[in-house]
Amino acid sequence: MKLSVIVPVLNEAAILPLLQARLAHLRAAGIETIVVDGGSDDGTVALLEADPGRWLASAPGRARQMNAGAAAARGDVLLFLHADTELPPSPQRILAVALHRPDALWGRFDVEVTGRSVWLPLVAFMMNRRSRLTGIATGDQAIFVRRVAFEAVGGYPELPLMEDIELSRRLKALAPPVCLRRRVRTSGRRWETRGVWRTIFLMWRLRWAWWRGAPADELARRYR
């Protein structure tokens, strides 16, 4: 199995050195890594240019960035990683076991949310439980997918929000997700910046509106 890790970034200069160090460890283990910039103007591009890791530029939008990375990747398994999320050790070995059956096409990790708030463990618990019950994954959980399945559903739908939920829905039509109990660690900065409970309730409202047919453009405006 050849694994490619694809990381979309936008104005992530503050955390990019840590991300680059993590990606260097992956490359040393034989894993392809591709960072896809969506039009940063904060120094991110200068840091990418100074790093030996592979990167490319794309049109803005997380879905477009991840599709561009997938098109450039050489792996037969694609893993989409947020810039502030850390994989567990030996991810290629973990996924080789997770996807050893031919009918195992895609999946995600459980997540641990790190930060100062005492509520973040509850956030992670709810995310993991909801995902296991619904078969829907979020980007924080490091979605992985066989290339053949990713291409069969047309890649990420180019939506301004809910692209990971819509991708999950399409992949579920092919096969149920492999829900790994191994955890990725992701930053709680989004919840802490907006307020933990405010963010939770906002995301519940947006997902409910999405399932009821609200357009993604409208939801993206509400999210911002």
**Could you read off the pLDDT of 176-223 as tens digits, one per residue?**
999 999 999 999 887 777 777 787 787 777 777 777 777 777 777 766
Residue 33 burial by Cβ neighbours in a 10 Å radius (0-12, 13-18, 19+): buried
Task: Provide the pLDDT confidence category of residue 153 given band limits of 50, 70 and 90.
Answer: very high
Give the integer Cα–Cα distance in Å for 43 and 143: 28
CA proximity to 56, closest of 78, 41, 71, 74: 71
CB under 8 Å, gap of 24 or more: what pairs does 29-32 form?
Answer: 29/90, 29/92, 30/92, 31/3, 31/4, 31/5, 31/91, 31/92, 32/2, 32/3, 32/4, 32/5, 32/73, 32/74, 32/75
* Whether the Cβ atoms of residue 6 and residue 66 lie closer than 8 Å to each other: yes
Structure-model confidence comparison of residues 120 and 212, the more confident one:
120
Task: Provide the pLDDT confidence category of residue 161 given band limits of 50, 70 and 90.
Answer: confident
How many CB atoms are located within 10 Å of the residue 132 CB? 15
Whole-number percent of the chain with pLDDT over 70:
98
Task: Provide the pLDDT confidence category of residue 149 given band limits of 50, 70 and 90.
Answer: very high
* Whether the Cβ atoms of residue 6 and residue 81 lie closer than 8 Å to each other: yes
Give the integer Cα–Cα distance in Å for 42 and 52: 20
Q: What is the pTM of this model?
A: 0.91
Least trusted range by pLDDT, from 61-65, 149-153, 176-180, 220-224: 220-224
Kindly report the average pLDDT of the chain as a whole number.
92
pLDDT of amino acid 23:
97
pLDDT of amino acid 217:
76
pLDDT of amino acid 191:
76
- Our count of domains for the chain comes to 1
* Whether the Cβ atoms of residue 80 and residue 3 lie closer than 8 Å to each other: no
Q: Which domain holds residue 203?
A: 3-223
- Taken as a whole, the chain contains a residue count of 224
* Whether the Cβ atoms of residue 67 and residue 153 lie closer than 8 Å to each other: no
Q: In CATH, what number is assigned to the domain containing residue 60?
A: 3.90.550.10
* Whether the Cβ atoms of residue 155 and residue 70 lie closer than 8 Å to each other: yes
Segment 171-175 shows an average pLDDT of: 97
Task: Provide the pLDDT confidence category of residue 173 given band limits of 50, 70 and 90.
Answer: very high
pLDDT of amino acid 189:
83
